[in-house]
Structure 1
């Protein structure tokens, strides 16, 4: 039995005009097979045609392929054949290695940006011999390196730039149902071994393994024969469509739909409103139900009569309106007129590094990626580099002067209105804040900073490698740069005891994770009060040579605003950071809870009081989970789902379902996980899917993290992300969520 607000008997329907019998019959019919592609019966081209781009000249040129030169260095420059696959969403390329060529693909959905000309670090350094008009850069999501390419002609380069842009735009516009439809046709193309557009039972079994399901042979063959109306041991045309419809059935959604639709098997607007009210939807009205029908119903006859079929209901639940993340929170919705210290601010550490802290490569590309991931409106790339914690909705760029920058660039910015008279966040819009140490009045003849030796020794002992590195770079700061540091003056935070002279709002303290944890442990509430009006930056210990991360949650619990992480290292810590800043338009600024903003707050994360909220999550099913090893078609995942709570220590918990054997396509659980929460305003909820293994640690499949306050109740889909934060569409979890306050 599925959870929810069940009724022992169905409520009386709201008064509504009777539906004509012929209309009910028309919209209640099972979905008809899609018309066949007369231009080409190949599943791959049918998939591409669904994108509506088969006649586009740029896409057709990409289908034919191009010999593009890949640039890695001045000496490593190799020509390869690149060709768009017939699915329209992957690019095949071949590289020559001794004895035998190897073939690879990359996916359009993993592309973050396509740049023309010498607009990457690689092409600026190594592409000088090629005309910019022939050059393009494909930047990928996550940690994958850029692909710097040179085309034989400027026109061929433009065909790839324009073609990829069209494919990416079409992909972004696709609904979840369209993505699923396209996804399955892509696998049909791969499973059709002889490309005759007919599927034998052997090819159907291959298809099932490709989509991550190990179905019993007898059941699979019975399903195959039920669709083989021509009785020739081959499925083709409408028979394949029927097989796919049976394969993609969602019994759990049908059960919910029929509970509300009654005998006529269609939802009227009042019945849909009843479902929305049971979901706990804010602002559920009849007009809202009518709008959802217009937005998601596929059957025009049903839409004209304000009715929703099962297909339309599935479309709605797979859409952003049916997702776990509140759509209203995807825009800037919080008060942006509060002091800067009242916000969590997305922050990175040593942004220029792409790997380890010691000996790892550095790149200005890391800045571009970071600013892009932070929802930045623009990208300013300094000549020598800086630590750029955030560029967001406000366009307020932070620069930490850990190394010297071009003084004339910053002087121009200062002349353009850098210095501000107010500290309210909204008033910083369009400004650049420079954070750094001010040079002391006394300096040596060679320009080095003169500092108290005892303070240096104390800093060295407490901060170790990080402090030594900071002092080394501080010696290079020029007087002109120091003069720009006005509102974010770096200062040491030695104690939380009241100082003889109250600290100024323009002072910012930087603490290692070790020092911050010491303050949290020894003076929790005093630290929170300090952070209610002062900015605090926390950075990873210099001993984290591999660019590993600490959990940011403990620092957020104490109100620290700038919790800096190594963005180059994926893991649950970066998932938490992405989840924290997923909301508020992903602008990089999230308003802290009231208990962390009040100057006289008594909140202590170590003693948050009794439980205030009960979170109940029923994990129902999953859909189209990705294969972990595409090279091993017989490898099928055994998925389990874990729900993690990250918040104050008393709230932190993790619970998981059993695993489902050999089914990543449509596994079912129906298990309930419940959590008692004491400080719900700080909670992040992380949904994780793993592949169970009896002899080694489970393998990561996908995850999604979001704040509890942005989690919608009722039946919801969780749209999973990869380890690098890229979409795994159409992979989803289907859950029921209930949040009850004490």
Structure 2
């Protein structure tokens, strides 16, 4: 960290009574007027910051802060642009599943392209470590009847289904305790299910996973239905009918269903414990929320399926889409619709209000076009603007699309679930993403960034004489009316501590859907600018005042100490 900062000294002296230190009263004034901290806790916060960052016993005992301590505070997580409260679980987690955006991966097993790329369980491990809660498993017949996973009818390499299961068991709940959804494409035939190898796979799988039937005779799921789910050995019944819905329990934990208006599936209170008394799972606290649960749905099935795979899977039933009107009249709460990105864009062009209204009632999944053989991604923001819950991306491909995904799911404790805006959860109301001014409670905001400086930006090539000419671009991603970007000037030959003091202003019409992306690039007059670092966060997580932005690499990795120093102000426009 740079220890001599003229930009920070300037702020410090603006609030210091004697230009040497910040008294307790000086710091309180800075926190209240500049950082816009809550007035009723400013004094306590000021005292805590002095105790935490002031190394001098004399200053600490006298409740004053030196310039060095002030810099330490501004460079800390408390001085970050990302609000600390949003880094922990802070949203309502007992809403129906349809009310959440869910971090989702496409062809999770692939590490490279879609035609000849390498398949690996590492794809699942990395996605789960990144907070992904919906992964894909494409199952095919392998040697000796043992299921394999790969991108069928291509030259991509193959991995064993049981290795995928082991990876899920080991990593599914390390980052988040909330449900993992398996989007499963089952191409396994019935021929090999009697083989000894297939039986070994079955045994391995079912000792780790437990399935229970869900009655679908009516839309309501009263608690009494669970009393009938008994078998001779006391284990939950394994349903062998592919048309029925099953909940798939994975690892130590519990599964539950909450009866909701419109019969949606909840992420809420425990209704039924599905772990058998004969299983090896430890006891579970029945007040916990959806702890370590794995949910599955089939996307495509052969005419003659492997019965043992079908027995394990179906929580959501993937159904053909006819029309929004047909869905509104006939759809069941457990049905899910999957669209390619092109089909989803067509619905958005032709019936955007209906699309949003549909997603307030049903689960929808959108995935990349089959033409993206290079594993590139589409812009997920376009689909989030419709309220689509499962927007599947190729996690192995870095770029702005994955930056947006990482940014959206960086909130709420990185649990992989983000509550959708109110206007997208109300099926009794309509919302037009093209005309947000018509929504109830419309409140646009002015967002102003003063980009002050950057610190210790890396070189873009390894030449010793290489020096960057940095500039900053701020992008706003959200509804079409909110999409915008502005840039600072570029600074010649200074990646160590460039200073701008450039002001960029934006108008945000629907803050709940907006993301701010900061990109630092190396200006080049003769060729394309080179990427240096980036950082993306939700509008709702932005802290006002003087803040540091701790920049990330292209693949989202944190590599200190590169940072930006900015001043942020948000005001209401109406």
TM-score, reference length from structure 1: 0.59
What is the DSSP-based 3-state SS (H/G/I as helix, E as strand, rest coil) of the residue aligned with 2:349? helix
Shift of 1:629: 1.4
1:506 aligns with 2:263: no
Matches within 5 A, 1:168-567: 180=1, 248-263=3-18, 265-278=20-33, 279-282=35-38, 284-374=41-131, 382-383=161-162, 385=164, 393-403=176-186, 406-412=201-207, 413-415=209-211, 418=247, 420-422=256-258, 423-426=265-268, 427=270, 428-437=290-299, 448-449=302-303, 477-499=305-327, 501-567=329-395
What is the DSSP-based 3-state SS (H/G/I as helix, E as strand, rest coil) of the residue aligned with 1:263? coil
Shift of 1:303: 1.1
What is the DSSP-based 3-state SS (H/G/I as helix, E as strand, rest coil) of the residue aligned with 1:345? strand
Q: Which has the larger radius of gyration?
A: 1
Match of 1:655 among 476, 486, 495: 486
Separation (CA, whole Å) in 1 of partners of 2:328 and 2:504: 52
Going from structure 1 to structure 2, the CA distance change for 1:649 and 1:409 (only over 3 Å counts) comes to farther
What is the DSSP-based 3-state SS (H/G/I as helix, E as strand, rest coil) of the residue aligned with 1:383? helix
Give yes or no for contact 1:375–1:586 (8 Å, CA) kept in 2.
Answer: no
Shift of 1:611: 7.0
- CA deviation digits over 1:588-619, x for unaligned, max 9? 00111111111123211111128711101110
Separation (CA, whole Å) in 1 of partners of 2:455 and 2:329: 60
Match of 1:571 among 385, 399, 405: 399
What is the DSSP-based 3-state SS (H/G/I as helix, E as strand, rest coil) of the residue aligned with 2:436? coil
Give yes or no for contact 1:438–1:483 (8 Å, CA) kept in 2.
Answer: no
What is the DSSP-based 3-state SS (H/G/I as helix, E as strand, rest coil) of the residue aligned with 2:11? helix
Separation (CA, whole Å) in 1 of partners of 2:561 and 2:339: 42
What is the DSSP-based 3-state SS (H/G/I as helix, E as strand, rest coil) of the residue aligned with 1:301? helix
Partner of 2:469: 638
Gaps of 5+ in 2: 138-159, 189-197, 212-234, 237-246, 249-255, 259-264, 271-289
Provide the aligned length of Structure 1 versus Structure 2: 459
Separation (CA, whole Å) in 2 of partners of 1:274 and 1:398: 48
Partner of 2:449: 617
Give yes or no for contact 2:162–2:205 (8 Å, CA) kept in 1.
Answer: no
Separation (CA, whole Å) in 1 of partners of 2:94 and 2:257: 14
What is the DSSP-based 3-state SS (H/G/I as helix, E as strand, rest coil) of the residue aligned with 2:564? strand
- CA deviation digits over 1:59-117, x for unaligned, max 9? xxxxxxxxxxxxxxxxxxxxxxxxxxxxxxxxxxxxxxxxxxxxxxxxxxxxxxxxxxx
Shift of 1:262: 1.4
Separation (CA, whole Å) in 1 of partners of 2:161 and 2:16: 60
What is the DSSP-based 3-state SS (H/G/I as helix, E as strand, rest coil) of the residue aligned with 1:259? helix
Shift of 1:699: 0.3
Separation (CA, whole Å) in 1 of partners of 2:400 and 2:327: 38
Give yes or no for contact 1:535–1:560 (8 Å, CA) kept in 2.
Answer: yes
Give yes or no for contact 1:438–1:485 (8 Å, CA) kept in 2.
Answer: no
Partner of 1:734: 565
What is the DSSP-based 3-state SS (H/G/I as helix, E as strand, rest coil) of the residue aligned with 2:111? coil
Match of 1:668 among 483, 494, 499: 499
Separation (CA, whole Å) in 1 of partners of 2:341 and 2:19: 61
Shift of 1:708: 0.3
Separation (CA, whole Å) in 1 of partners of 2:48 and 2:324: 55
Gaps of 5+ in 1: 1-179, 182-247, 440-447, 450-474
Separation (CA, whole Å) in 1 of partners of 2:80 and 2:409: 17
Give yes or no for contact 2:131–2:176 (8 Å, CA) kept in 1.
Answer: no
Separation (CA, whole Å) in 2 of partners of 1:581 and 1:573: 13
Going from structure 1 to structure 2, the CA distance change for 1:501 and 1:529 (only over 3 Å counts) comes to closer
Give yes or no for contact 1:438–1:489 (8 Å, CA) kept in 2.
Answer: no
- CA deviation digits over 1:468-490, x for unaligned, max 9? xxxxxxx6x42232233342111
Partner of 2:545: 714
**Worse-matched range after superposition: 570-579 or 503-512:** 503-512
Greater share of helix: 1
Separation (CA, whole Å) in 2 of partners of 1:328 and 1:400: 32
Separation (CA, whole Å) in 2 of partners of 1:626 and 1:254: 24
TM-score, reference length from structure 2: 0.76
- CA deviation digits over 1:389-419, x for unaligned, max 9? 9755334222122245944445341258746
**Worse-matched range after superposition: 520-529 or 654-663:** 520-529
What is the DSSP-based 3-state SS (H/G/I as helix, E as strand, rest coil) of the residue aligned with 1:351? coil
Separation (CA, whole Å) in 1 of partners of 2:445 and 2:452: 22
Shift of 1:556: 0.3
Separation (CA, whole Å) in 1 of partners of 2:545 and 2:484: 22
Separation (CA, whole Å) in 1 of partners of 2:31 and 2:257: 48
Going from structure 1 to structure 2, the CA distance change for 1:507 and 1:727 (only over 3 Å counts) comes to same
Going from structure 1 to structure 2, the CA distance change for 1:658 and 1:499 (only over 3 Å counts) comes to closer
Partner of 1:88: none
Separation (CA, whole Å) in 2 of partners of 1:728 and 1:292: 25
Going from structure 1 to structure 2, the CA distance change for 1:736 and 1:499 (only over 3 Å counts) comes to closer
Shift of 1:670: 0.6
Partner of 1:213: none
Give yes or no for contact 1:433–1:487 (8 Å, CA) kept in 2.
Answer: yes
Partner of 1:585: 413
Going from structure 1 to structure 2, the CA distance change for 1:521 and 1:330 (only over 3 Å counts) comes to same
Separation (CA, whole Å) in 1 of partners of 2:368 and 2:38: 41
Separation (CA, whole Å) in 2 of partners of 1:728 and 1:637: 18
